[in-house]
Structure 1
Amino acid sequence: MIQIKKYAAIDIGSNAMRLLVTNIVEENGKPTQFNKSSLVRVPIRLGQDAFTVGEISETNINRMVDAMKAFSLLMKVHNVEKYKACATSAMREAYNGKDVVSIIKEQANIDIDIIDGKVEASIIASSDLKHFINSDKTYLFVDVGGGSTEFSLFSNGKMIVSRSFKNGTVRLLNNMVNDVVWTEIEKWIKTATAEYDNVTLIGSGGNINKLFKLSEKHQDAPLSYVYINAQYQKLNAMTYEQRISELGLNPDRADVIIPATRIYLNAMKWSGARQIYVPKIGLSDGIVKAMYFDRI
């Protein structure tokens, strides 16, 4: 006999907000299954506010409230019994972030936790990442967001070290990442991977997932450094409009995909990785797992 629970995760990022509804299937003697039931993405670019003027604008607060009301109704329709909402770098850095949390609680009855980079990385590690890691290999996990990028090194099946940097796609679009930050990332990656041979990247985030989809490869197949670099050159040669019309990118993806690709390329170069795997995992998946296993 099986038992099915429904959990939901809300990921409030710098480029978009997501609601993930997951069916959790429990059966005696078998591993628990986590099956995605619904995923809704709303392109509210909070990072544009937070990183340029330091606060979430009234317009985007109203959009967030509307989105959260919609998420609340969707969770009700799906009979969700437990949820968790986590906000990342944009809400962390907006000086009115806590005020926005209070407004959303009052108007949409959604509780939001503003989490730091280390917690974000640990939550992502709670996802299905372990299923993609061989115990005898070394991996650099790279999660590129709008405001920050999380790096985690795994070897022998265990996390060795993790670090979050204020280098994300929305920041890069606004020329808010200087050479010092890039140098710090380069130094950290080279130091963290120095004693390991044959490092492989694992990429997370909407942009690397889009690049993978464009490759038309099987889900278990990796992308090569050569392919990522070729895509980077191709995207750079196209106009914003061409990326939308010819590649079918969403308007809020067509600009951030270039700086995201640059981050992945540099991570591969500095770690010596020649391949990158792209499992379909992210913060929202990790939130569901962390809730289920009482880690948050």
Structure 2
Amino acid sequence: MKLAAIDIGSNAVRLLIEEAIKTGKNDHYFKKISLTRVPIRLGEDVFTDGIITDDKAKKLVKAMKAFRFLMEANDVEAFRACATSAMREAINGKDVQKLIKKNAKLNVELISGEEEADLIFGNFDNSNFELDKTKTYLYIDVGGGSTEVTLIKRGERVDSYSFRLGSVRLLKDKVPDFVWDDACKKIKKLVKGESNVTAIGTGGNINRIHKESRHRFGEEIKVSEINKIVSEIEEYTYEDRIRKLKLKPDRADVIVPAGKIYSTFMKAGNSKRMIVPKVGLSDGIISKLYAENS
């Protein structure tokens, strides 16, 4: 069964196509067929002016048309398209949603931060990462427009928050101090009484930071290492981050603010180390699609 997920984020839009291959009556694995990423930074205008510009809307429609053709060419049997904080918050977000439906023939859902976290969390069982039921985890997912934080105990979600605090929003200087203060207070309250909390980090920026640490997949990264790597990257100019560090242009400017969100929230959550399972919203969408269609 071939499945696809479209993630319309604040920093980029992605199409992930995977094939679900059964290995037994109740067992399966996902084989990646393709991942297409287009850097349409919707949050750039939304977090400043509150709208998706005509130029960005036209580019988004073109990308969605291309995604539909790619899905058809790959014989995709089921797909789901989800848009997160930028499109959700845009004054004209629903208008753009209708524009995509009319011109690209795709239904796009505007999902909440909580549902976004649910989808990613629900995919942990299908990743190479397995929750230790004896440990307490602070799950942190940093996007372009929002950050989702969840406390996990004994393998179950206890409570969660979605903060209007993300890498693109921070880059645009659209995060007031009171938002930081409120987020840190809530995280401290969330982990009150907990000790030895391990963070779980998801998102493209923490994946790259983990790669820069030279740790192998599955190895924990310390908050001190995250701070060190972010400080080193910050020393480079935007151009040198692309030329010397080989960062994508739309990653080069947001990786530093994203790294600061991770480390700040880890500190508030009394967590000194982080696991980076390298799963995202697209993976979660496909996992749920398989459960619904198998």
Do the structures match in fold with TM over 0.5? yes
- In the alignment, the residues of structure 2 paired with residue 140 and residue 183 of structure 1 have an alpha-carbon distance, to the nearest angstrom, of 18
Q: Where does residue 61 of structure 1 map in the other structure?
A: 57
Question: How well do the aligned residues superpose, as a CA RMSD in angstroms?
Answer: 1.4
Q: Does 1:8 align with 2:4?
A: yes
Q: Where does residue 234 of structure 1 map in the other structure?
A: 232
Q: Where does residue 71 of structure 2 map in the other structure?
A: 75
Q: Which runs of 5+ in 1 are unaligned?
A: none
Please state whether the residue corresponding to 2:48 is helix, strand or coil: coil
Between the two proteins, the alignment pairs up a number of residues equal to: 291
When structure 1 is superposed on structure 2, of 19-28 and 133-142 the one drifting more is: 19-28
Please state whether the residue corresponding to 1:68 is helix, strand or coil: helix
Identical amino acids, percent of aligned pairs: 46
Letter in 2 for 1:145: G
Q: Relative to structure 1, is the Cα distance of residues 207 and 179 closer, same or farther in structure 2, using a 3 angstrom cutoff?
A: same
Deviation of the 1:54 alpha carbon: 1.1
- Is the 1:146–1:170 contact (alpha carbons within 8 Å) kept by the matching residues of 2? yes
Deviation of the 1:30 alpha carbon: 4.3
Trace 1:253-264 onto structure 2 (pairs within 5 A): 253-264=251-262
| TM-score normalised by L of structure 1 | 0.95
Please state whether the residue corresponding to 1:216 is helix, strand or coil: coil
Q: 2:200 pairs with 199, 202, 206, which one? A: 202
Deviation of the 1:293 alpha carbon: 2.2
- Is the 1:17–1:42 contact (alpha carbons within 8 Å) kept by the matching residues of 2? yes
Deviation of the 1:215 alpha carbon: 2.0
Deviation of the 1:26 alpha carbon: 2.1
- Is the 1:132–1:279 contact (alpha carbons within 8 Å) kept by the matching residues of 2? no
When structure 1 is superposed on structure 2, of 126-135 and 60-69 the one drifting more is: 126-135
Deviation of the 1:36 alpha carbon: 2.1
Q: Does 1:122 align with 2:128?
A: no
Q: Does 1:28 align with 2:49?
A: no
Q: 2:246 pairs with 225, 245, 248, which one? A: 248
Question: Stretches of 4+ moved more than 4 A in 1?
Answer: none
Letter in 1 for 2:104: A
Q: Relative to structure 1, is the Cα distance of residues 129 and 266 closer, same or farther in structure 2, using a 3 angstrom cutoff?
A: farther
- Is the 2:138–2:197 contact (alpha carbons within 8 Å) kept by the matching residues of 1? yes
Please give the per-residue CA displacement for 1:52-81, whole angstroms capped at 9, x wherever unaligned.
111111111111111111111111111100
Letter in 1 for 2:191: T
Q: Which runs of 5+ in 2 are unaligned?
A: none
Q: Where does residue 86 of structure 1 map in the other structure?
A: 82
